[in-house]
Structure 1
C-alpha cells in the first residue's frame, strides 16, 4: 500500500469556534493506481489532498506514504517528502515567472537531486512543450502553463502525484488533452495519482473514485 489514511479529522477556525471539515476519513491508494476524489464544494476534498501531501496537519488520525508516517514528521521532514516522494499539481500553476519553461520543468527535479536532462526533454516533447522551452510562463497559454506544471512534478519521479483540480482553469478541449497526457505519463512512470475533480467525465477516467460528503467518505 503506497498511501494509507486512517481516521482523519480536521477542523478549520470559524467565528463561533472550530468548523469540522473531515470527520474520520479512511482512504488507501496502491502504487500505480489512479483515483478520483469527488464531492461538492466545501466537502473537504482539497483539505484531504493537502493533508496527504504534508501541506497541513490533521487534528487527529494517521497518514502513511511509502512506509513513512507523515503525521510524525516536522515541517522539514514533510518538505523532504514532497521533494522526493510526493508531487503536487495545483489548479493554480505556481510557475516561477523568472525561469524559462525548461528551467521550470527542471526545478523540482534539481531540488530532489534527480534532474535528468533527457527525461525533462522527453516530458516536454510528450506534453507538446518542445518549442516552448526557452519561453517564459507569461508567454504561454493556460494549457501550456498547466502542462509545464505537470512536467515539473513528474520530472522529479514522485511515487505519488496529488492533483487538485489540475484542469479547473482550462477550457473543455484543453482540459481533456492535458488530463490525457498526465494519465499517460503517470502510467508510464508507475506513480499513483489522487486527483480532486468536479468533472464526472474526468472521474470516469480514473481506475477508482471516492466521494466525500459532509467530511466523510460516502
Structure 2
C-alpha cells in the first residue's frame, strides 16, 4: 500500500476537557488510487490529512507512507518525506508572496534536488501559467494561485498527493477546471490522491469515497 493507517487515534485538550477527534481510523490507499475523504465540519478530516503528512502525530496507531513508518520518525525524517514523497495542496494556496510564479513552482522541487527546467516548463504550460511566470501571487486570480500550488506539489513527482479542500476558495466553474486538471496530472504521474472535500459532486469524481463520522471511517 502507498498509504496505510491502522487504528489511528487523536485527541486534543480544550477548555480543560479531552476531546477525541479520531477514534480508531483504518485506511489503505494503493498507488494510483484516488480517494475522497468527506465528513461534517469538525469531524477531523483535516486532522487526519495532517497526520498523513507528518504535520502532526497520532496519539495511537500506525501510519505508513510509501513504506516509511511515520509513528516514531524524527522531525527531520518527516520533513524529508514532505520534500520528496508527499505533495500538499491546501485551500489557502500557501504560496510564497516574495517569489514569482516560476520560483513558486520550482520551490519544492529545488528543496528535493529534483528541479528539472524542461519539466517545469511543460508543467507550467499544462497549468496555463506560461505567460504568468514573472508575476507574483498577489497579481494572480484565486484559480491561478491554486494552479501554481498544484504545480508546486506535483513538480517533485510525489508518490502521494494530499489535498485539503483544494477548490474551496474558488467559484464552481473555476473549481471544476482546477479539479479536472489536478486529476489529469495526478493520473499522468501515477500518484495516489487523498482529497478532503465537502462536495458530494467533487467526491464522485474520485475513484473511491470514505466518510468520517464519530471518529471512524465508513465507505
Query: Fold conserved (TM > 0.5)?
Result: yes
Report the equivalent of 1:106. 106
How far the C-alpha of 1:18 sits from its partner, in A, is: 1.5
Partner of 2:65: 65
Q: Identify the residue that residue 190 of structure 2 maps to in structure 1.
A: 190
RMSD: 0.6
* 1:124 corresponds to 2:124: yes
Gaps of 5+ in 2: none
CA distance in 2, matches of 1:17, 1:75: 28
Q: Equivalent residues in 2 for 1:9-158 (5 A)?
A: 9-158=9-158
The runs of at least 4 consecutive aligned structure 1 residues that moved more than 6 Å come to none
Q: What do the CA deviations read for 1:112-151 (whole angstroms, capped 9, x no partner)?
A: 0000111111111111111111111000000000000000
Does the residue aligned with 2:95 lie in a helix, a strand or coil?
coil
Structure 1 residue 214: Cα displacement:
1.3
Superposition TM-score, scaled by structure 2 size:
0.98
The SS at the match of 1:99 is: coil
Residue 166 of structure 2 aligns to a residue whose secondary structure is coil
Q: Give the Å deviation of 1:14.
A: 1.0
Q: TM-score, normalised by structure 1?
A: 0.99
Matches of 1:180 and 1:119 in 2, distance apart?
20
Whether 1:200 aligns to 2:197 is no
The answer for unaligned runs of 5 or more in structure 1 is: none
Aligned length: 218
